[in-house]
């Protein structure tokens, strides 16, 4: 089994994307014309829940994989 590195983690990169979206929201609100900022902030706010849902789904998949590996290690390849 090869070691897991953070640079290959889907959750890590999605979290980085979420951080960029959050920082963009802050700086757009601070430095962009208020009329344009409303539209940009809406688009950023609409995308952020999708990224969070992807992180959650990857976490669920990883936990299911870990549990499956643990079951195989405990019981072998035989179905229960």
Q: Is residue 4 part of a domain?
A: no
Q: Is residue 20 part of a domain?
A: yes
pLDDT band at 76 (very low <50, low <70, confident <90, very high): confident
Segment 11-59, tens digit of pLDDT: 788 888 888 888 988 998 889 888 888 888 898 888 888 878 888 888 8
d(CA 19, CA 70): 33
Q: Is 44 helix (H, G, I), strand (E, B) or coil?
A: helix
d(CA 30, CA 37): 9
Q: What does pTM read for this prediction?
A: 0.58
Q: Is residue 47 part of a domain?
A: yes
Q: Is the pLDDT of residue 80 over 80?
A: no
Q: How many domains does the chain have?
A: 1
Tokens matching residue 50: 């999708």
pLDDT band at 77 (very low <50, low <70, confident <90, very high): low
Per-residue pLDDT, 4: 67
Q: Is residue 57 part of a domain?
A: yes
- Evaluate whether 39 touches 23 at the Cβ level (below 8 Å): no
């Amino acid at each position: 089994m090869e070691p897991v590195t953070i640079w290959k983690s889907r959750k890590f990169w999605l979290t980085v994307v979420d951080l960029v979206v959050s920082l963009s929201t802050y700086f757009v609100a601070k430095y962009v014309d208020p009329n344009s900022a409303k539209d940009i902030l809406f688009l950023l706010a609409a995308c952020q829940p999708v990224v969070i849902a992807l992180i959650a789904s990857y976490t669920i998949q990883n936990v299911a994989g870990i549990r499956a590996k643990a079951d195989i290690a405990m019981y072998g390849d035989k179905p229960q």
